[in-house]
Amino acid sequence: MLHVMKRAKSTPRPAAKQVTARRAAKRAPAAKTASKKTASKKTPAKKAAARKPTPKKAPAHAPAAKQTAASKKTPTNKTPAAKKTAPVRRFAARADLGAPVDGFFLKQPSPQREILQELRRLVAEVVPNAAAAIKWGNPFYTLDGATVCAFGAHKSHVNLILAGPPGTFDDPHQRLIGAGKTGRHLKLTSLEQLPRDEVRGWIRTAAKLAAQKH
């Protein structure tokens, strides 16, 4: 009896351990396959995310490039605008234009009046056929429209104006002044300053020059 009980105790019970081992063995492949499946499902998502191209940003200077391209366009041939010519200034004719010279001499104060009267007498002596008329407020003496000489009255002096280009009149004493292209003049402040002989020669020369213009 004792011997039988010892044998019973000494023999192991494999049933419970084997069952658990077998169950564990069955569960291990299933877990591995499940983990493989989940791994295979996750990796393509990562690869897809990695392959997804990033959108390119437009450069900040793109509008400027368009502007420069627009500015480089070849200009069309435009006809230049015609230059505006300045209007010709026309002065109103004076009321005394062509008037007789007598009133001019009468209204002058002394000593200008005496100087002008003597110059008038010398012109009549040298060029008796010269026409006298008021022009620009002063007496002008002409031959067929060409100016011989003119008189100018000022506050303190009188001018004898001689028409002719530079070098026309012989002036050894350098009495004539002015370097204009159309004439020179003699300035007188008193009757005593009047060089009558020289004035006669200058008027004669001016009359010859006026006669040559016809």
Residues 76-111 have pLDDT tens digits of 566 666 667 766 666 566 788 889 999 999 999 999
Between the alpha carbon of residue 187 and those of residues 137, 180, 195, the distances in Å are 18, 15, 11
Give the C-alpha separation, 17 to 22, whole Å.
9
Q: Mean pLDDT in the chain?
A: 77
pTM of the model: 0.57
Mean pLDDT over 200-211 rounds to 96
Q: Which of 210, 107, 101, 213 is nearest to 149 (CA)?
A: 210
Q: Confidence band (pLDDT; 50, 70, 90) for 179?
A: confident
- The residue among 60 and 127 whose pLDDT is bigger is 127
Chain segment 45-77, per-residue pLDDT in tens: 444 444 555 656 555 554 544 555 445 555 556
C-beta of residue 205 within 8 angstroms of C-beta of residue 169: yes
**Contact residues for 188 (Cβ-Cβ < 8 A; gap 6+):** 115, 157, 158, 159, 160, 194
Query: Per-residue pLDDT for 154 more than 70?
Result: yes
**Contact residues for 92 (Cβ-Cβ < 8 A; gap 6+):** none
The fold for domain 102-211 equals Aspartate Aminotransferase, domain 1 (3.90.1150)
pLDDT given at position 4: 40
Mean pLDDT over 24-37 rounds to 51
